[in-house]
Amino acid sequence: MTLAEGVQLVSFGLLAIMVIGTALGVVLLPNIVYSAFLLGGVFISIAGLYVLLNAGFVAAAQILIYVGAVNILILFGIMLVNKNQPFSPVRRGWIRLLATGGVCLGLFALLATVVFGTSWQISSAVPAGDQATVLIGIHLFTDFLLPFELASILLLMAMIGAIVLARREFIPDETPADAVSDALTLPERPRELVSATGETTED
């Protein structure tokens, strides 16, 4: 093993640990703000994996789009939805937990099947090099056009949902006289009149 291969192996191990650790933090932490920040760590770690695969453009797009746009949008939605609403316990909540656990186990089994069923052999194809960006654009707007449009619709739905959750109830312009509080009012400062000679006189 050469020095370059050792560095790549260590880098891959560190990035893999970062991806798994930050992903577990996103799921397990009770504070949703911390989870959103750790989601940015997941995106950055995945960008590092793209760099190891010599996919510099995909890594840059990962940071610009997911870290700089999607993650910021998620944080904006979290900060915007700041209603102090008590949550009542959900009846038969264990059914939802079992359903969520079943979906997660199904996705894990599907991904594990794909990982173990793929022959991870090094391809003998010639690298695209500087033409990689052109090829990505061609595939994005031909073969993967439908998933690309579905992702944009999904982000639009998330934005509309954040707006609906963050909207405030109607507050009337005029409040009853008994509801007005003087807690935030300050006593009026005595006015000073300035005469022509420059002397000040108090009212």
pLDDT tens digit sequence for 124-169:
777 776 777 888 888 888 888 888 888 888 878 877 776 676 665 5
* Residue owning tokens 């005029």: 174
What is the pLDDT averaged over residues 86-105? Answer: 80
What is the pLDDT averaged over residues 189-200? Answer: 57
**Pairwise CA distance, residues 171 & 128, whole Å:** 60
pLDDT-derived band at 109, boundaries 50, 70, 90:
very high
* 163 sits in which H/E element: helix 145-166
**How many other C-beta atoms can be found within 10 angstroms of the C-beta atom of residue 2?**
7
Cα-Cα-Cα-Cα dihedral sign, residues 66, 71, 77, 80: negative
Architecture of domain 9-82: Up-down Bundle (1.20)
The token pair at 192 is 């000073």
Q: Which residues contact 83 (CB under 8 A, 6 or more apart)?
A: 165
**Pairwise CA distance, residues 34 & 174, whole Å:** 39
pLDDT of residue 201: 53
CB 97 within 8 A of CB 175: no
CB 38 within 8 A of CB 25: yes
Partner residues linked to 193 by β-bridges:
201
Is pLDDT larger for residue 99 or for residue 181?
A: 99
pLDDT of residue 139: 85
User: Average pLDDT, whole number, for the chain?
Assistant: 78
CB 201 within 8 A of CB 193: yes
- Which range, of 40-44, 156-160, 177-181, averages the lowest pLDDT? 177-181
The token pair at 105 is 């186990």
CB 182 within 8 A of CB 172: no
pLDDT of residue 12: 92
pLDDT-derived band at 113, boundaries 50, 70, 90:
very high
